[in-house]
Chains A and B, each alone.
Chain A
Amino acid sequence: MQTTSPAPAEAPGGEAPPPGGEAGASVLGRPAAGAFVAPALLLIAGFLVFPALWTLYLGLTDYRLTGAAAADPAFVGLDNYTEALQDPRFRNSLVVTALFVFGSAVVGQTCLGFALAWTLRDWRSPLRALIEVLVIVAWILPGSVVAFLWIAFLDGQSGTLNALLPGVDTEWLLDTPLLAVIVFNIWRGTAFSMLLYGAALSAVPPSHLETARLAGASGWQQLRDVVLPTIRGHILTSLLLISLWTFNDFTPYLLTRGGPNFQTEVLPVFIFRNAISSGQLGYGAAISTIVLGVNLVIALFYLRLLRERR
């Protein structure tokens, strides 16, 4: 427990403090500490652990939205999972999701967010505030409003984008649907990376950069050898969060409903269309469990990289 660390004199062992009974070993006794933690644990258990376990259970049944199987679901074992592995639409959805996460979060938001933070770091003009506000507004507007704006922006006949590009009448959401959704999500989510990298860059000690400059390092060399190693933890944290958010993002549905012909059917949309639209809650729960597993793998991967920091 963290509470033991401020009292090293009392517990010289440090790593293995004696149980709470010994006076002074911790500020709080174990029961009191437990009482403080209990509400949080109850909330986590009720709203996180229980739904996850419930999803796990539902995924093993043929539970449906309506009909006989809704009143009396039967246990079907791993049928939903074997079905998913054979389902070409599930495989399509996996590929679409991977491209969506990689293109919009890992590459797009990270690079654009860092580029903005790096470019703006020394600016002191009102232009900087203006750019930051615009980027942040894209992030905080409600999804439904943003979807409407982008549908209007990308429309082939009367869209703003084609009005700016003379001679172009591409229907972006039909001809390049996945690319359109990726660009949309880069625009939508770059603010978080920009803010996080902005804070990280201000934490890079100027003396390090100064030393590197005196040693004759070019801008690129300073970035590579001084800045990036210093903010490695921030990069990984940002990647972890935006990968998970993007993986679970439902907003593409508002632009394309998963179409045309399933080309933008990311996993959350796939789950929605199976579980709610066609009523297969059991199957949807099984896919949700798989998504949960993939999220855990992504989280573990980044956390492992974070721990290897030194």
Chain B
Amino acid sequence: MLFFIPLLYGTGKNLTDGGKWLGDTPETRAVLDLYQQLYGQDLGDARLQLRADGRDRSFQQFADGKIAVLLEGDYFWRSVINPDGGLAPMEDRDEAVGWALIPARQPGGGLNGQDFVSLSGGGGRVINPNTKAPKEAWELLKFLNSREALENWVQREARITSRTDVNQANLKDPLLSFISERVLPITATRPGSAAYPQVSLAIQTATENVVAGRSEAGEAAGQLGAAVAKAVGADNVTGAS
């Protein structure tokens, strides 16, 4: 379920397009069709996708050498298969594991005409608009985002930060450097709107039905379009619904 959105980026579309949410479009169908190919022909492990702790199990199976390719991010590298304190540590991580960018459906066919796509998440720090101490809050945020504070943080635990100067000066890890240089410029995030959790549930349901073999890709795309239309209103959805 994790990679519906990056695959959608690979078709050149985002979840919202011109202010409207993506419903039953050729792009959604293409993504669900790929799911059907992957899991209908046993190219991926459908059972791992369906079980409650599937992602955790996939971590272990990757570390045990039973899974060859996973679509994960820097979290997987630094917190899961990290030989030093990871959840499923791999002693030979640095020699055995390689990485690549996620290619678009065809060169130049990804989001914003890119050749490759990426989906990011993470935290944010904001000021409460009703605060009684805006100046102090601003000062605090300035300090938290200062080079000094972020360097102190990454020296305790290697991470990609929002500051290019900190990343350039501190990232020794080859994958984290690669991500900060090659992936950050092309990455995108999910919408932060209140309707998104419902759209996310619609996506989850549609992909799950395809992976379980309950629905064909086209049928699931129709269900997805209908569910999104119900969540955000039929006027706010592109594609057939």
Closest chain-B Cβ to A65's Cβ sits at a distance in Å of 8
Stretch at the interface among B21-29, B91-99, B181-189, B195-203: B195-203
Of the candidates B52, B193, B195, B212, the one whose C-beta lies within 8 Å of that of A256 is: B52
Asked if B51 CB lies within 8 Å of chain A CBs, one says yes
- For A69, what are the chain B residues with a Cβ–Cβ distance below 8 Å? 194
Asked if B230 CB lies within 8 Å of chain A CBs, one says yes
Scoring A residues 272 to 284 as 1 if CB is less than 8 Å from chain B, else 0, what string do you get?
A: 0110011110000
Which residues of chain A (256-301) have a CB below 8 Å from chain B?
A: 256-257, 259-262, 273-274, 277-280
Check B198 against A259 for contact (C-beta < 8 Å).
Answer: no
Q: CA A231 – CA B51 in complex, angstroms?
A: 43
Q: CA A67 – CA B211 in complex, angstroms?
A: 31
Closest A residue to B52 by CB, please name it. Answer: A257
Asked if A210 CB lies within 8 Å of chain B CBs, one says no
Closest chain-B Cβ to A273's Cβ sits at a distance in Å of 8
Most buried by A among B197, B208, B212: B197
- For A279, what are the chain B residues with a Cβ–Cβ distance below 8 Å? 194, 197-198
Of the candidates A67, A68, A257, A260, the one whose C-beta lies within 8 Å of that of B212 is: A260
Interface residues contributed by chain B, number (CB under 8 Å): 19
Closest chain-A Cβ to B238's Cβ sits at a distance in Å of 21
Of the candidates A256, A257, A274, A278, the one whose C-beta lies within 8 Å of that of B200 is: A278
- For B194, what are the chain A residues with a Cβ–Cβ distance below 8 Å? 64, 66-70, 279
Check A261 against B201 for contact (C-beta < 8 Å).
Answer: no
Asked if B50 CB lies within 8 Å of chain A CBs, one says yes
Check B50 against A277 for contact (C-beta < 8 Å).
Answer: no
Q: CA A252 – CA B6 in complex, angstroms?
A: 32
Interface residues contributed by chain A, number (CB under 8 Å): 26
Of the candidates A67, A261, A277, the one whose C-beta lies within 8 Å of that of B195 is: A67
Check B197 against A174 for contact (C-beta < 8 Å).
Answer: no
Closest chain-B Cβ to A63's Cβ sits at a distance in Å of 12
- For B208, what are the chain A residues with a Cβ–Cβ distance below 8 Å? 259, 261-262
Check A171 against B47 for contact (C-beta < 8 Å).
Answer: yes
Closest B residue to A264 by CB, please name it. Answer: B52
- For B58, what are the chain A residues with a Cβ–Cβ distance below 8 Å? none
Check B230 against A261 for contact (C-beta < 8 Å).
Answer: no
Check B209 against A173 for contact (C-beta < 8 Å).
Answer: no
Q: CA A30 – CA B230 in complex, angstroms?
A: 55
Asked if A89 CB lies within 8 Å of chain B CBs, one says yes
Check B230 against A260 for contact (C-beta < 8 Å).
Answer: no
Asked if A83 CB lies within 8 Å of chain B CBs, one says yes
Check A278 against B50 for contact (C-beta < 8 Å).
Answer: no
Which residues of chain B (204-226) have a CB below 8 Å from chain A?
A: 205, 208-209, 211-212, 214
Which residues of chain B (41-56) have a CB below 8 Å from chain A?
A: 47, 50-53
Closest B residue to A261 by CB, please name it. Answer: B212
Closest A residue to B195 by CB, please name it. Answer: A67
Closest chain-A Cβ to B36's Cβ sits at a distance in Å of 14
Closest B residue to A175 by CB, please name it. Answer: B47
Closest chain-A Cβ to B192's Cβ sits at a distance in Å of 10
Closest B residue to A69 by CB, please name it. Answer: B194
Closest A residue to B46 by CB, please name it. Answer: A260
Closest A residue to B53 by CB, please name it. Answer: A151
Closest chain-B Cβ to A87's Cβ sits at a distance in Å of 9
- For A174, what are the chain B residues with a Cβ–Cβ distance below 8 Å? 47, 50-51
- For B51, what are the chain A residues with a Cβ–Cβ distance below 8 Å? 171, 173-174, 259-260
Q: CA A70 – CA B193 in complex, angstroms?
A: 12
Known: A67-B193, A277-B197, A279-B197. A261 touches B52 (CB 8 A): no
Closest chain-B Cβ to A206's Cβ sits at a distance in Å of 51
Which residues of chain B (145-197) have a CB below 8 Å from chain A?
A: 193-195, 197
Known: A67-B193, A68-B194, A261-B208. A278 touches B201 (CB 8 A): yes
Which residues of chain A (82-116) have a CB below 8 Å from chain B?
A: 83, 89
Check B198 against A280 for contact (C-beta < 8 Å).
Answer: yes
Q: CA A70 – CA B51 in complex, angstroms?
A: 32
Selected A-B contacts with CB under 8 Å, 10 pairs: A64-B194, A66-B194, A67-B195, A68-B194, A171-B47, A174-B47, A255-B52, A256-B52, A277-B197, A277-B201
Which of A's residues lie within 8 Å of B, judged by CB?
64-70, 83, 89, 151, 171, 173-174, 255-257, 259-262, 273-274, 277-280
Which of B's residues lie within 8 Å of A, judged by CB?
47, 50-53, 193-195, 197-198, 200-201, 205, 208-209, 211-212, 214, 230
Q: A64-B194, A279-B198 are in contact. List 6 more A-B contacts (CB 8 A).
A: A68-B194, A174-B47, A261-B208, A261-B209, A274-B201, A280-B198
| A-B residue pairs, 9 tightest by C-beta | A67-B194, A260-B50, A261-B212, A257-B52, A278-B201, A279-B197, A278-B197, A66-B194, A278-B198
